[in-house]
């Protein structure tokens, strides 16, 4: 994996300036570095939690996205958050992104599922790292055609 993939943000991904493979590498690096998933007090996955953790989508959005979403008082899951943030940056209705970039969005929804499935189990530390690596390897295997396409 590359040391720094700052260009691999979702905005650049949806603009066609970042490859899905780079976005996935970046997500995996950040999930591992975080050391645990982003869940609330009742174990539900959330965009960001009180511990300062973020979901897979939240880890890759630009830092200012948190303020933008809080300002709009949008209480949504990470993928819907992504649509609103990227839509705002690109000047597109979020529904247009969902309609015209469906495959790209589905790839991100599936990435979010990797985080959520592991985070709900409460893994931390070395077990978290192991599960993230296994989940990402399985993701790459199952979605090889989409990764190659984008």
pLDDT at 4: 43
Task: Report if residue 2 sits inside a domain.
Answer: no
Task: Report if residue 90 sits inside a domain.
Answer: yes
Task: Report if residue 4 sits inside a domain.
Answer: no
Q: Which two tokens stand for residue 62?
A: 């630009």
pLDDT at 29: 94
How does residue 43 score in pLDDT terms, banded at 50, 70 and 90? confident
| pLDDT over 90 percentage in the chain | 36
Count structural domains, the chain.
1
Check residues 52 and 137 and name the one with the higher pLDDT. 137
* Contact call for residues 82 and 97 (beta carbons, < 8 A): no
Task: Report if residue 3 sits inside a domain.
Answer: no
Q: Which two tokens stand for residue 44?
A: 């539900």
Task: Report if residue 47 sits inside a domain.
Answer: yes
pLDDT at 5: 46
Task: Report if residue 141 sits inside a domain.
Answer: yes
Cα 32 to Cα 17, 37, 74, 80, 136, distances in angstroms:
24, 9, 27, 23, 11
Task: Report if residue 5 sits inside a domain.
Answer: no
Task: Report if residue 142 sits inside a domain.
Answer: yes
Q: What is the pTM of this model?
A: 0.80
CA distance 11 to 1: 21
**In terms of Cα–Cα distance, which of 59, 6, 8, 63 is closest to 33?**
59
Highest mean pLDDT among 36-40, 100-104, 134-138: 134-138
Tokens 């599960």 locate to 131
Full domain range(s) for residue 102:
10-149
């Amino acid at each position: 994996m590359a040391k720094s993939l700052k260009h691999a943000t979702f905005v650049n991904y949806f603009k066609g300036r970042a490859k899905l493979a780079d976005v996935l590498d970046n997500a995996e690096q950040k999930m591992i570095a975080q050391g645990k998933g982003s869940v609330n007090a009742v174990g539900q996955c959330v965009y960001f939690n009180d511990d300062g953790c973020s979901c897979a989508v939240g880890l890759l959005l630009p830092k200012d996205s948190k303020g933008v979403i809080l300002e709009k008082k949008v209480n949504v899951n990470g993928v819907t958050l992504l649509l609103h943030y990227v839509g705002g940056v690109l000047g597109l209705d979020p529904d247009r992104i969902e309609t015209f970039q469906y495959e790209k969005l589905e790839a991100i929804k599936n990435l979010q599922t990797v985080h959520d499935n592991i985070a709900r189990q409460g893994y931390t530390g070395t077990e978290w790292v192991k599960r993230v690596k296994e989940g990402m390897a399985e993701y790459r295997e199952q979605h090889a055609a989409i990764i190659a396409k984008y």
